[in-house]
A and B are shown apart, each in its own frame.
Chain A
Amino acid sequence: MLKLSKLAIAAALTVAGSAALAGEVEVLHYWTSGGEAKSVAELKKIMQAKGHVWKDFAVAGGGGDNAATVLKSRVVSGNPPAAAQIKGPAIQQWAAEGVLANLDAVAKAEQWDKLLPKVVADVMKSKGNYVAAPVKLHRVNWMWANAAVLKKAGVTAAPKTWDEFFAAADKVKKAGMIAVAHGGQNWQDFTTFESVVLGVGGAKFYQDALVKLDPKALTSPTMTKSLETFRKIKSYTDPAAPGRDWNLATAMVIQEKAAFQFMGDWAKGEFSAAGKVPGKDYLCAAAPGTASAYTFNVDSFAMFKLKDAGAQKAQGDLAAAIMGTDFQEVFNLNKGSIPVRLNMKMDKFDDCAKLSSKDFVDTAKSGGLVPSVAHGMAIAPAAEGAIKDAVSQFWNDDKISVADGVKNIAKAATTK
Chain B
Amino acid sequence: MKTAETLLPKLVIAPAFVLGFAFIYGLMIWNGVLSLTGSRMLPNYENFVGLEQYARLWEMDRWYVALKNLGIFSVLYVGGSMAVGMVLAIFLDQKIRAEGWLRTIYLYPMALSFIVTGTAWKWILNPSDGLQKLMQDLGWTSFTFDWLVQSDSAIYCVVIAGIWQSAGFAMALFLAGLRGIDDSIIKAAQIDGASLPLIYWRIILPILRPVVFSTVLVLSHLSIKSFDLVMALTAGGPGFATDVPATFMYTMSFTRGQIGLGAASATMMLATVAAIVVPYLYSELRSKPHDR
Contact = CB atoms under 8 A, between A and B. Distances in A.
Nearest to B241: A396
B254 A72 contact: yes
B213 to A, nearest CB: 37
Interface stretch (B14-22, B125-133, B273-281): B125-133
B149 A385 contact: no
A4 interface: no
A396 B42 CA distance: 33
Nearest to A89: B257
Contacts, number: 76
B65 to A, nearest CB: 9
A147 B126 CA distance: 28
Interface in B126-143: 126-129
A393 B239 contact: yes
A185 B254 CA distance: 18
Interface residues of B, number: 27
Given A93-B257, A382-B257, A72 B41 contact: yes
B238 interface: yes
A98 B65 CA distance: 37
Contacts of A90: 41, 257
Contacts of A75: 42
Interface string A241-263: 11100000000000000000000
A239 B146 contact: yes
A401 B151 CA distance: 16
A240 B62 contact: no
Interface in B98-129: 122, 126-129
Contacts of A239: 127-128, 146, 149
A65 interface: yes
Contacts of A395: 239
Interface string A219-254: 000000000000000000011111100000000000
B151 A396 contact: yes
Contact of A240 (B128, B234, B255, B258): B128
Nearest to A72: B42
A330 to B, nearest CB: 31
B258 A389 contact: no
Nearest to A64: B255
A196 B83 CA distance: 50
B144 to A, nearest CB: 10
B206 interface: no
A56 to B, nearest CB: 22
B239 A76 contact: no
A393 B240 contact: yes
Contacts of B258: 381-382
Interface centre among B122, B240, B254, B257 (most CB of A within 10 A): B257
Contact of B254 (A68, A97, A242): A68
Interface string B235-258: 101111100000000010011111
A72 B254 CA distance: 9
A240 B255 CA distance: 26
Contact of B256 (A240, A242, A243, A385): A385
Nearest to B261: A382
Nearest to B62: A389
Nearest to A184: B238
A397 interface: yes
B40 interface: yes
A382 B237 CA distance: 20
A359 B234 CA distance: 38
Residue of B40, B126, B256 contacting most chain A CB atoms (<10 Å): B256
Contact of A243 (B149, B151, B257): B149
Contacts of A185: 235
A239 B151 CA distance: 12
A243 B251 CA distance: 17
A132 B254 CA distance: 21
Interface in A388-404: 389, 392-393, 395-397
Contacts of B42: 72, 75-76, 97
B149 A397 contact: no
A406 to B, nearest CB: 15
A380 interface: yes
A185 B149 CA distance: 12
Contact of A97 (B41, B238, B240): B41
A389 B238 CA distance: 10
Nearest to B127: A240
Given A381-B257, A389-B62, A392-B239, A242 B41 contact: no
B43 interface: yes
A372 interface: no
Nearest to B122: A243
Which interface residue of B122, B149, B235, B238 has the most chain A CB atoms within 10 A?
A: B238
A186 interface: yes
A69 interface: yes
8 contacts: A72-B254, A76-B43, A90-B257, A93-B257, A94-B41, A97-B42, A243-B148, A380-B257
Given A90-B257, A240-B126, 12 more contacts: A65-B255, A72-B41, A72-B42, A72-B254, A76-B43, A93-B257, A241-B149, A242-B149, A380-B257, A389-B62, A392-B238, A396-B241
7 nearest interchain CB pairs? A240-B128, A396-B238, A396-B239, A392-B239, A385-B256, A242-B238, A242-B149
Interface of B: 40-43, 62, 122, 126-129, 146, 148-149, 151, 234-235, 237-241, 251, 254-258
